[in-house]
Structures are given as C-alpha cells and as structure tokens.
C-alpha cells in the first residue's frame, strides 16, 4: 500500500491534490518544519527521488512556506520512515 493510501486524511482525494498536513496543532507541541537538506539527511534519499516519490503519492507532500521556499512537516516525514521500517519488518518476518 502506498504512503498516500495509508496516510491520506481526506478519503477520495489524492495526496498530491493538496497539503497533507493537519492545519490544527496537535496539543501544545509546535509544528516543526524540515527544509530539503534536513529531509535528505533524515531519509537518506536524494532530492530527485524525494520529488519523484511525492509525484507518485508515496512521500509526504511539501508545504509552501513562502513564495520561494518549501518545507516538510517533520511528523509526516517521521511517519513515512516508520511505515517503511514496519513494511520492511513485515517482509523479513513473513
């Protein structure tokens, strides 16, 4: 199952159709945004692969934070990584 299918908060709307972040803050925790170098460092993926996966709906969508900059919601990137680890664990134990 793709990241989009398992994490889409709006059923029936493709992940790339809009932001995937929940605009409501969760508790008292601030929303932390990651810039591209931080996402590359956290995932081990390259810039091109990150954008390819986004286009396929298999990676969290970036959020436009100004006219010339984008960032990713850290919680979404961490959830994507956790899902990849879980999928890998299930494959190796099956």
- Please write the tens of the pLDDT for every residue from 2-15: 555 555 443 443 44
29-52 core/surface letters (b: 16 or more CB in 10 A; e: else): eeeebbeeeebeeebeeeeeebee
Give the CATH fold of the 3-8+30-93 domain.
Recoverin; domain 1 (1.10.238)
pLDDT, tens only, 18-30: 445 555 556 788 9
The percentage of the chain sitting over the pLDDT mark of 90, rounded to a whole number, equals: 62
Spatial contact of 35 and 71, defined as CB atoms under 8 Å apart: yes
pLDDT exceeds 60 at position 45: yes
């Amino acid at each position: 199952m793709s990241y989009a299918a398992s994490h889409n908060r709006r059923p029936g709307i493709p992940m790339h159709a809009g932001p995937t972040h929940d605009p409501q803050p969760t508790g008292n925790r601030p929303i932390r945004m990651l810039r591209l170098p931080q996402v590359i460092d956290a995932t081990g993926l390259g810039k091109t692969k990150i954008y390819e996966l986004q286009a396929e709906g298999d990676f969290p969508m970036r959020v436009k934070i100004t006219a010339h900059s984008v960032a990713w919601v850290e919680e979404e990137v961490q959830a994507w990584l956790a899902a990849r680890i879980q999928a890998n664990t299930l494959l190796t134990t099956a």
